[in-house]
């Protein structure tokens, strides 16, 4: 009888551990789909897709509201931030390649509009806060 209780208890532990593999605990495709931010302009034929869990939440709750910064301010900041970001992408031994995966092809001579510059700038703010990164951007432009 004593061994039967141990066997039942062991079977219950094995069953409870194996049953968690099949359950969706909220970390599946829906979380990634909801945290995907797409920045695109079909007339200029460009697209930026940000798949960083938490960025969508940051953009909707913690970022400064649209219109807080002027378009020229965002364009100037993005010019420096993209340059610094791309430099980090090219140095995977010095900077974490999981954070800096792909270069951003940002041309300061193209008018991307306010929305694109706003979301791109806030992505850099999000990166600096989430991963404790410091970008080399002049304080005065």
In a domain, residue 42? The reply is: yes
Could you tell me the residue range of the domain that residue 119 belongs to? 29-130
Q: In which band, very low, low, confident or very high, does the pLDDT at 54 lie, cut at 50, 70 and 90?
A: confident
Q: What is the pTM of this model?
A: 0.68
Question: Based on the structure, what is the number of domains in the chain?
Answer: 1
CB atoms under 10 Å from CB of 19, counted, come to 9
Q: φ, ψ for residue 75 (rounded to 5)? A: -65, -45
pLDDT score for 124: 92
For 62-119, write each residue's pLDDT tens digit: 899 899 999 999 999 999 999 999 999 999 999 888 888 889 888 889 888 898 899 9
Q: CA 20, CA 3: separation in Å to the nearest integer?
A: 26
pLDDT score for 53: 81
In a domain, residue 95? The reply is: yes
SS3 51: strand
| Residues written for the chain | 141
Top pLDDT among 39 and 119 is at 119
In a domain, residue 73? The reply is: yes
In a domain, residue 65? The reply is: yes
């Amino acid at each position: 009888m004593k061994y039967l209780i141990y066997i039942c208890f062991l079977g219950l532990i094995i069953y409870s551990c194996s049953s968690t593999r099949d359950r969706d605990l909220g970390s599946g495709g829906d979380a990634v789909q909801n945290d995907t931010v797409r920045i695109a302009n079909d007339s200029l034929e460009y697209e930026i897709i940000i798949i960083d869990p938490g960025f969508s939440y940051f953009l909707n709750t913690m970022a400064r509201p649209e219109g807080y910064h002027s378009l020229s301010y965002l364009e100037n900041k993005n010019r420096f931030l993209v340059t610094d970001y791309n430099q980090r992408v090219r140095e995977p031994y010095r900077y974490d390649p999981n954070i800096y995966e792909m270069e951003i092809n940002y041309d300061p001579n193209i008018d991307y509009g306010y929305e694109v510059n706003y979301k791109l700038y806030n992505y850099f703010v999000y990166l600096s806060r989430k991963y404790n990164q410091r970008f080399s951007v002049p304080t005065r432009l």
